[in-house]
Chain A
Amino acid sequence: MTSFILILLASIFFTGIVNRVKSITSGRKGPGILQPVKDVIRLFKKKPIYSKTTSFVFQVAPGIYFASVIMAIMIIPLGELKGIISFDGDFVFFAYILGIGKFFNIIGALDTGSSFEGMGASREALFSMFAEPAFFILMGSFALLTNHSSFQEIFTSMHFGSSITYVLGVLATIVLVMIALVENSRMPFDDPKTHLELTMVHEVMVLDNSGFDLGLISLATNLKFAMYGALIANLYMGNFPLYLTIPIFLGIQFMFAISVGILESFTARFRMNRNPQYILVLSSVSLLIFLGVLLVLGEFR
């Protein structure tokens, strides 16, 4: 429960901090930290408008997407404290409950019949597909290392004792940060600020959503970011007491948001056909982690 509340709390500030960093680096004053939340509240007050070409799929998709993200957040632990849902193999459940949300997002976009949204949907599906192996190799390696298969047990029993495990921690952070950027359609994979339908990935999929539905999607996006931040924070908590884990959690969320902001300020977006290549690199980094785990376990003789 603690982790759930903390993630909700972090999500309020996360996107605001990213935007603020971007505005400071470009010499602008920029909107307040709470602007993304205010936008969501404004959208919640509005009625969605549905085009005649769409069916019920388009109407239920935002709700299911939002629900899937909430479910996934419930699984995330905080150090010793379990998430609201916790069982053996919950990381598989985590990945596929997000998958369901994404699936509905994609068919919702296809349902509009717009050629832009079709392109966006196919890009999103492709990129998530490439990101999936990276996540499973990473979590699978940790499961192998710790002999556990739920998030909470894996994270608490991971001890960064030897130098190799520190290396593993750094590599895992890199993989998780990159997966978070892919899954949230951030730079350098996708430009969330662009007005160009032809270059968008996520944004183009929600072009036809409006009012309450769009509010749900924006809120889910904010939550997802904080969720991945929480996952990264868990790597470093181990079995520390609560008065240490909460500052660690908030600190890592803050650093994550700032680094995303800096990354988005000083680089250009990748060319679209470079994206799959780059995302596949994540899988190979995950394989390195797997190799490291085998080393730690002494499987090589």
Chain B
Amino acid sequence: MSHISISNNETIPLSSIPELDYPAFLEQNILSLKNSAGSHCVNYYGIPWNDNVRLICCIANDELSSINISSALVETGKPFNTFSKQNPAFEKFEREIHENFGIQYTDHPWLKPVRYPFNRYNKNENITDYPFFSIDSEELHEVGVGPIHAGIIEPGHFRFICNGEQILHLEIQLGYQHRGIEQLFIEKKKLLQRATLAENIAGDSVAGHTVAFTNLWESMCNYQPGRDLQLSRTLALELERIAVHTGNLSAMCTDIAYQLGSAVYGRLRTPIINFFQRWCGNRLAKGLIRAGKTNFPLTNELAAELTTLLNAYERDFEEISEELFNLPSALARFEKTGVLTREQAENLGTVGISARMSALERDIRYSHPHDLYRELNHQLLLKNHGDVHSRARLRKREIDQSIAYIRTLIQSIPGAGTQSVQLASPSPNSFTLSLVEGWRGEICHAAVTGENGELIHYKIKDPSFHNWMGLALAVRNNEISDFPICNKSFDLSYCGHDL
């Protein structure tokens, strides 16, 4: 066997991951992606290994609900052929490996820096002299936006090359938010510190990233969470999905200057996040999810409150959605704007709504279920056009689906069954991978432990890592004035990407 198949949240000894030589490693992973339509790369990264680098490639097989792990040991100085040449989805992963370890790829399209980490290989590269693509032409003009955002969101630089009002090319430069989170996971030794770090990877995906970390940690400590813990995690994920999708619909209405939608969706988001506040004292669900225990058990009173809240929410939500999706002026802005074709989405390996909008079946809840998703029998929601309208419409339908799931979940609340136990220390010399479908798409956390069970490597992949390029392609040939609505409909994370 040249790879090992694991299931989501399974811990395996590090030695069981086969180590191939690089050409075989390349061929095997490219072939496995080519041969099976339901396969996609969930993570590909390097670990410093003595003086060399151990590359680990994780390919998820959606049909078999398995993840194939393989690895190769490479020397930093040597030139290698790229995965990207044969599968563009690897483009950013290889840029990251190049940036961190200085591995020289021979046929990569452009080894641009990703996020300028502090311990990058080439310290002479600085964020101020990022190599932008440019075109020499009398007719074309460049528009640079950022890195300081005019509104309240995060920093990132967008450079458009336009022909009049039409966008020919968009390049997105990120990295301004880099905080060295992966390194901090290793430096901070306490579990609480690490859980807090996971909560702060991306402020809008607190539940998503924390569930990924918690599931991974519990699997490494060989701890099986009780039903009450699983319930609260699943519930938190679905509530977060409702809250963020609603807020996003509001923001999309703001961008097309549809005031009614903006106001009503904006108001609807508040009761949902306020429920988190009631439940765990934080509107973003920080502090709710902890490995091996819960500080805030879900009581029957809370569940009753949630039911009333959802009933009130649903009535207004359906009414305003009826208005929005039948309003000609709104549809004129949504439809056929920012199209990402199925082929493009597949090539880039987009995830989450950015994949499902183009009929690409990517959903961890369906393909690699964890927690109570195993019982919910999740049905995929798909759209075909890949435009702004598909993304907006999918959000609406996912909210409906989440409401239904929550109602099913809170029908029976298990008592606070879980006793707070001291978790065992993680198993030594092992590897664990955790996949979670956050509201934005698939979140992947992977960890490696050393001799004494201490964490020696931690890798985080936010869905935005795949999807930013999707945005850059989707806006091509659109009007520059439609960029904000395209950007908002993808709703990607800056800090999740920059880590």
Contacts and interface: CB of A to CB of B under 8 A. Distances in A.
A264 B333 CA distance: 16
Contacts of A194: 254-255, 257
A115 B257 contact: no
Contact of A115 (B143, B264, B267): B143
Contact of B259 (A22, A195, A198): A22
Contacts of B77: none
A268 B330 contact: yes
A116 interface: yes
B333 A273 contact: no
Interface string B239-275: 0000000000000011111111011100100000000
B479 A270 contact: no
A104 to B, nearest CB: 23
B260 A265 contact: yes
Contacts of B348: none
A267 B258 CA distance: 6
A188 B144 contact: no
Given A268-B329, A271-B333, A196 B263 contact: no
Interface in B145-171: 145, 150-151, 165
Given A26-B262, A265-B259, A273-B165, A199 B484 contact: yes
B479 A26 contact: no
Given A198-B484, A267-B329, A268-B333, A193 B257 contact: yes
Contacts of B260: 25-26, 265-266
B259 A26 contact: yes
Interface in B7-64: none
Contacts of B182: none
Nearest to B334: A268
Contacts of A119: 143, 165, 480
Contacts of B165: 119, 272-273
Contacts of A27: 263-264, 267
B141 interface: yes
A39 interface: no
B332 interface: yes
A52 interface: no
Contacts of A267: 258, 327, 329
Interface in A162-205: 187-188, 191, 193-199
B256 A272 contact: no
Contacts of A301: none
Given A265-B259, A269-B257, A115 B142 contact: yes
User: Contact residue range for chain B?
Assistant: 20 to 34
Contacts of B259: 22, 25-26, 264-266
A188 to B, nearest CB: 7
Given A115-B141, A115-B142, A193-B257, A274 B480 contact: no
Given A26-B263, A269-B333, A191 B481 contact: no
Interface string B316-346: 0000000000010110110001000000000
Contacts of B255: 194, 196, 199
B482 interface: yes
Given A195-B150, A196-B484, A268 B142 contact: no
A196 B150 contact: yes
Contact of B257 (A118, A268, A273): A268
B217 interface: no
A271 B480 CA distance: 11
Contacts of A271: 332-333, 337, 479, 481-482
Contacts of A198: 143, 145, 480-481, 483-484
A27 B320 CA distance: 14
Contacts of B483: 198
Interface string A35-47: 0000000000000
Contacts of A118: 141
Contacts of B337: 271
Interface string A230-241: 000000000000
Contacts of A115: 141-144
A118 B165 CA distance: 11
A199 B264 CA distance: 23
Nearest to A273: B479
A292 to B, nearest CB: 29
Interface in A251-278: 264-274
A191 B150 CA distance: 16
Contacts of A269: 256-257, 329, 333
A25 B264 CA distance: 10
5 contacts: A119-B165, A119-B480, A196-B150, A196-B151, A269-B329
Which 7 A-B pairs have CB atoms at the shortest separation, nearest pair first?
Answer: A26-B263, A191-B257, A269-B257, A268-B256, A268-B258, A268-B329, A272-B481
Given A268-B327, A271-B479, A272-B165, 8 more contacts: A26-B263, A119-B480, A197-B145, A264-B257, A267-B327, A269-B257, A270-B329, A271-B332
